[in-house]
Copies of this chain bind each other. A is one copy, B any other.
């Protein structure tokens, strides 16, 4: 499919672009989703396109949150499905406790169906969407179709993983009493600041790392996970992420 040689210095970044462009042509990704990806690309470039220690600590905390939760749910949108569809399928196979729900910023019934079909076609049969519930739940504080929740998904979740998510939905999820883990390259975004655990790293690096950590934590004593969360400092993570990006933007 791809003409990008492995030796190209920007091969990983260029392959992600290809996935998004394919997603656009498949009607999964929107045009503004491509622009949003470019904003993230700029930050990942400044991070040296690598995972930093602050992101590793956040992934460990995220795993603790999801492992301790009664009803952990991963929510995905068009960009997420285009970028890490296969990695989400692996995550779902390894962790049967995790629920998956699609939530789109630019919602239409047709687009939601395309995203769902794509995920299910990859193998994520249990992906949910509010439109397939007879009685969707409603998240207060949002006024678009993004407020609807599947009652078996985000509707009953106590912990939600959001990725590349808009600030107002993250804020509404936190305000509803749910614990929110966010994957966001911009440590200054509202999403990054509102979430209890913020993973500042590129999505295709985060999902496999989180998958591995969740496998390890499955046999961890509950007290260890609780201690890990008690010691976790999300503000420090965000501060370190800002510092790393500023260092990346250092001139010569």
Mark A residues whose CB is within 8 Å of B.
17, 20-21, 24, 31-32, 34-43, 45, 186-188, 238-239, 242-243, 245-246, 249-251
| Chain A interface SS verdict (over half) | helix
Instruction: With A38-B38, A38-B40, A245-B249 given, name 5 new contacts (CB 8 A).
Output: A36-B38, A39-B39, A238-B251, A239-B251, A249-B249
In the complex, the answer to whether B38 meets A31 with C-beta atoms within 8 Å is no
Contact of A37 among B38, B43, B238 (CB under 8 A): B38
Complex A-B, nearest 7 residue pairs according to Cβ-Cβ distance, in ascending order: A38-B38, A242-B251, A42-B42, A34-B34, A35-B38, A39-B42, A21-B31
Contact of A188 among B24, B31, B36, B249 (CB under 8 A): B249
In the complex, A38→B35 CA distance in Å?
A: 4
In the complex, A249→B239 CA distance in Å?
A: 11
